[in-house]
Every structure is written in structure tokens, then in C-alpha cells.
Chain A
């Protein structure tokens, strides 16, 4: 590398990186662009999408969070950090934040462990393996609101089989009225919906563990549990880490459809997540300032969570 150019294009940046690594890259055949503008043109749509659908609305949310605004846009009062203060001091908001953390934790833990269990078992099945796998995976094709509808039929107060089943044991299951009964239904449906996703990834992860490694492990340890714990699981670490992030995101955001169907438009005293609260205050309550403040808080929380996951957890992940 005897010619240093200013990084004016992605190609230039790539060259700079290579230079930064200090090693002469192998002279592979690469597609070269003659004009420095062309590559930028190709990435432009992607940048435009991110700017229009993420940065711009985010900036708007931050701005709105400092105002109390007439929904129709006729007036607005600058209130400084009042929206944040009102949000954070509300007992209701803290309860919902607590439930969200609990919900995300338990949904992630259960759907990961059950997905892994099923994958390990399915990996060992020889006869009619594909039928078994297809049955497990097919649940993934069900949309979250539909999953919730099915769940709510089973938990219906008047005709639900689960309600009747609980009654056999003398338990009065009141989903929609009792806070923890509803939480139970919510977790069950959210986990059920997510297991197949984890199952697919764990299964393909397991199938990529080399036979030679398995055979070597077989000589070292007779106990299956020991082999799983010492050999298989560490080899699954990249998959698990990826799924952890995906599952936390799922529990925090993608469960919206499930929650909306379960609380039937009127949350009353039922549990909900922070995202649902943002929707409720913004779209049903027309409180744009308050709901913007909540979404900014949520954005900060997710950013912190992501950084933490990558900094502290990814160090322990060994990529093969």
C-alpha cells in the first residue's frame, strides 16, 4: 500500500481499515467503482430509510417530550422536564416498569430454555424427525394477535377450557380481572409463541456441532448431562447470545399485539408493558408530550441494555 487517499467512499474507508490492521491484504479480485459517488448512491436508500423512519421521528419525540401539546397542534406549552417528572413519579408507571422487567426476564428465560430443551430432544429423534420438527416450527407462522386470540378463547371467563380446568382444582381463574391471572395468561401465550423461533436456531446450532467433537466428548464423559454442559452448550454460545438479544427485544416490543388482544382495549388493572403504555397515552389518550417522554425513556433504556449486553456478555461468547 503505497498510496494513501482520503476516505471519500466506502472503498476508501475499507482501504483505511486494512491499512489500520497493518497487514497487506491478499490481492483478491474486487469490483472497483471508478466514480467515488456511485457507491454512496447505492447505500443512499438504506441511509434514507434509517433517517426517515428512525432518526427523524426520534428527534421529533425528543422535542415533543418537552411540551404539553394540544393534539390538533393549535397550542403547546413548554414545560421543560415536567413530562419526565410526571411520568417517573407516577406509581402507575413504576408498577408497569417493574412488570415489564419481570415479564421480559421470565419470557426470555422460559422461551430460551424450553426452545433449547425441545431442540436437544428433537436432535436425537431419528424416526419421523422431520414431522416432529415441522410440528414444532409451524407455531411460528401464527401472528402474535392470532396467538393471543386463541389463548383468550382458552382463558375465556365464561367458556374457556383452562378456566374450567382450574375450577376442577377449586381455583377461580379470572383472566382480565385478577392481575396475576392475566399476567400468567400473558406469559404463557408469549412464551408459547416464541418457543419455535428459538427451537429453529438451537436445532441448526446443534446440527452444526461437528461429529468428531461429539465423538471425542463421548470418550471423555459418559454422562450425557456432562457432555451437554461442557461441550455442546459452549459451542452454542454464539447462538444463545444472539437469541438472548432477540428474545429480550421480543418480550419488550413484539408482544404488543398479544397484550392488546388480552386486555381487550381496556387495560383496567391488568398488567401491561411500557410500550403498551406509550401507545395508550399517545394514541388513545392523545397526550403527545407525556407519551413522547415515555418513548424517550424507553429508547434510553434499550440503548443501555444493548450496550450492556454487548460489553459484558459478548466477551464470554466464543465464536468458533
Chain B
């Protein structure tokens, strides 16, 4: 009897010791569905690969909800070790100096190797500061690409367009063949942010906002940007472009149903589209304007990155660094890439995916990363603007007005520029 009892005590004591020896770290993210599952799988792989740290991923809903919960938690001292923040929220967290530990510092302090050059060019700057130091750890990165309905293009016997000029040439034929030639999800990301990157156009003063939050001003009512929307409106009137509101899914659905010939979506849409599309499809780069000097540059990355939150004990930070290194290892990157459609963020991972022959079976999966590896221009590195989610909301509102004929594109962009600049002024006061 005594023996059994002592044995039990011993077991309990042993379990307690192992639990104590492991450092617990947490990761809050904003992903659901298949992507959320893959996050859990990766965390499990990390926990199995080493014994010093134990990582628990928790889904906090959408990107916006993850950021809002993270902020509330930080204010009450309950922040997670790792917080996923989406592209538009980057300025909010990077500007809050003291909320995060720069990913680069974190990894180097933990004595791990870190080299900026390991990352593919398109992801190097978006979450970095103006000197190029990585603040956020790039994680799920995507590019806007143009999917096309293979049958539609077979029917009219032409290649999918590379430039918008090409599009204007094929659109009448696609319409004649009974298709809606074009739809696009999230016009803010596709037709403003990545119009700027693909056509190498300045988006904001102060080096696209990277240099300072003081006096940064939006540049959107310039002739080229307005021209893009004059064209879209004109195409909509001609029946070449279908606008289905600000919702992502409403614009994707008609493409899945085979009614639309071209749809601009995310490289990360690939996984889902494989299951939902009723017709064979493929993809090409997002078009640019031949008529704009210097156009055809790489696009901005979309998606989100991981931030190491400040105010955590040293041993937990070491674990976070450990996980960041694990996450960028080629095997894990390839696993993430192949299961979600997000691009691999290091050249080593890209090479590994190529070597494994992944792109022979899935040529579409390579389009996003190839677009991010195109030559960069002065203005294709990224942008950094505060209250940017609200600026996007202003754009969404005005875009609806353009397509319902209430305002002209010029009027819409004048409004966006003035309301956006007011928001930027407000943001510049948040620093105190």
C-alpha cells in the first residue's frame, strides 16, 4: 500500500517537473478553416521537435479581432508571446514602440543565426523599419494574382492578358463568348495598394510613410490612380467588369461558378479555389499598365506577420525566437506553402518546393512567389500608414459610390485623400 502511494507521488512529482521544465508560450492568430488547422499542425511539429518549449496557438477570430484582442490584452498585461498582425494593421503595432521586440533583435539575442538576405525580396521590407530591420516576422505572405477560367480562354483562342491594355483587347471577345470578362476581390488591395506597387507609383509622402508618422500624406488622387478607376467604371458600364461590393466572397463566387473569365484574388485563395471552382482554372501575374513608365514591378505582400510581444520573461522570449527560427526553416515553410497556398518566404524554402516538384503538379502555386520575386521599384517595397484599416474603409465606401454612379472616380479619390489625410493627422497625435 505504502509502495503504491509513494510510486504515485513519485509519478506526480516527475510529471510536475517535466511540466515545469518546459517553458509555455502562446500565439494568438486570426485564421480559421484549413489555415487555422495548419497553424495547429505546425505548432504540434514545433512541440515535438524540441522539449524545452511548449507552444499553444489560439485563434482569436479574424485579423482585426486578433489585433483588437491583442491590444486589450497588452493594456492589461495579459498579452501573448506572439501576435499575428495583418498588413493594414502593421503601422499600428510597429508605431507602438515598446509593445513589441523587433524579430531580428529577438532572434540574434537568442544566439540564433539571422540573415535578411535569406528572405525573398518581396517580403523583406513590408514589416521592417526604414533601415530594413525586421520588426515583424513575415509569416503568411500572399500576392494578388489573376486567376483565369481555362475554358473561357480556350473558347476564344487567346492567351490571358499580361497588361491592362491586353485586357482591353480580349474583353470584348470574352463578353461575346458569354462570360463576364473580369471581377476582383478587395479593390483596396488590388486596385490601389497593388496598383501602386505593380506600376511603381508613390503611395504616400515620407517614403511611403516609412520615414516618419509626422506629416505623412496619402497620394491617391493623381492622374494614374484616377485613370485606373475611370477605366474600371468604363469597363463596368460596358459589361467587361462585374462589381459585387466590398465583400471578398461575393466577387469570388461568380468565378467559382464559371460565369467569369478573370478574377483577381490572392495567391492564398488557391487552396480553397481548388475545392470550390466548378471549372478548370489557372493563374497569371496581376496586370499592369504598359502605358505607365517603369511599370511591371513586384507587388506588395498581403497577409500577416508575427510580432513578439514585449514584457515577457527572458526564457519565454528565447522560446519565441526558437519558434521563429523553426518557422522559417525550409521544411516548415514548404509544409505551410503546400497546405495553404501562401508563398514560401525564404529562397531556401522556394528552392526546396521546386526540387520536390510541387510546381510541376501545381503551376498556379508558383505564380504568387514569382510575382514577389520580380524586380523591385522605388515604390514597391511597401507602405506604412497609421489608422490604415479606417482609410481602407473610406476607400470601400467611395468605391461603392463610384460603381453606383453617385460620384466620379476623381471626386471619390479627392474624398479619400482628404479623409485619409485627416486620419493620418489624428494618428500622428497618438504618439503623445
Do A and B come together as binding partners? yes
A233 and B204 CA atoms in complex are apart in Å by 63
Whether A12 sits at the interface, judged by CB under 8 Å, is: no
By a CB distance below 8 angstroms, the chain B residues around A290 are 426
Once the chains bind, are B400 and A269 in contact (CB under 8 Å)?
yes
A72 and B432 CA atoms in complex are apart in Å by 12
By a CB distance below 8 angstroms, the chain B residues around A72 are 71, 74-75, 93, 96, 98-99
By a CB distance below 8 angstroms, the chain B residues around A178 are 404
A66-122, CB < 8 A from B: 68-77, 79, 86, 92
Once the chains bind, are B426 and A287 in contact (CB under 8 Å)?
yes
Whether B257 sits at the interface, judged by CB under 8 Å, is: yes
The B interface is mostly helix, strand or loop, or mixed, namely: helix
A274 and B246 CA atoms in complex are apart in Å by 20
Partner of A75, one of B393, B399, B419, B430: B430
Once the chains bind, are A77 and B250 in contact (CB under 8 Å)?
no
Tier of interface size on chain A: 35 or more
* Size of the chain B interface, CB-CB below 8 angstroms: 45
Once the chains bind, are A268 and B426 in contact (CB under 8 Å)?
no
**10 A-B residue pairs with CB within 8 Å:** A72-B75, A75-B432, A86-B426, A92-B419, A158-B254, A177-B403, A267-B397, A268-B245, A269-B397, A287-B426
Whether B247 sits at the interface, judged by CB under 8 Å, is: yes
Assuming the contacts A86-B426, A179-B404, A285-B390, asked whether A74 and B253 have C-beta atoms less than 8 A apart, the reply is no
Partner of A74, one of B97, B390, B397: B97
Whether A243 sits at the interface, judged by CB under 8 Å, is: no
Partner of B64, one of A73, A76, A158, A284: A284
Task: Name the residue of chain A whose CB is nearest to the CB of B64.
Answer: A284
1/0 per residue, CB under 8 A from A, across B391-403: the answer is 0010011111101
B218 to chain A, nearest CB (A): 16
A195 to chain B, nearest CB (A): 28
Once the chains bind, are A285 and B389 in contact (CB under 8 Å)?
yes
Partner of A266, one of B95, B253, B396, B430: B396
A284 and B396 CA atoms in complex are apart in Å by 14
By a CB distance below 8 angstroms, the chain A residues around B353 are none
Once the chains bind, are A268 and B430 in contact (CB under 8 Å)?
no
By a CB distance below 8 angstroms, the chain B residues around A158 are 250, 253-254, 257
Assuming the contacts A71-B430, A74-B432, A265-B62, asked whether A286 and B67 have C-beta atoms less than 8 A apart, the reply is yes
A290 and B390 CA atoms in complex are apart in Å by 12
A157 and B257 CA atoms in complex are apart in Å by 13
Once the chains bind, are B429 and A79 in contact (CB under 8 Å)?
yes
B416 to chain A, nearest CB (A): 12
Whether B8 sits at the interface, judged by CB under 8 Å, is: no
B50-87, CB < 8 A from A: 62, 64-65, 67-68, 71, 74-75
Once the chains bind, are B432 and A157 in contact (CB under 8 Å)?
no
By a CB distance below 8 angstroms, the chain B residues around A174 are 245
By a CB distance below 8 angstroms, the chain A residues around B403 are 177
A269 to chain B, nearest CB (A): 3
1/0 per residue, CB under 8 A from B, across A264-279: the answer is 1111111000000000
By a CB distance below 8 angstroms, the chain B residues around A132 are none
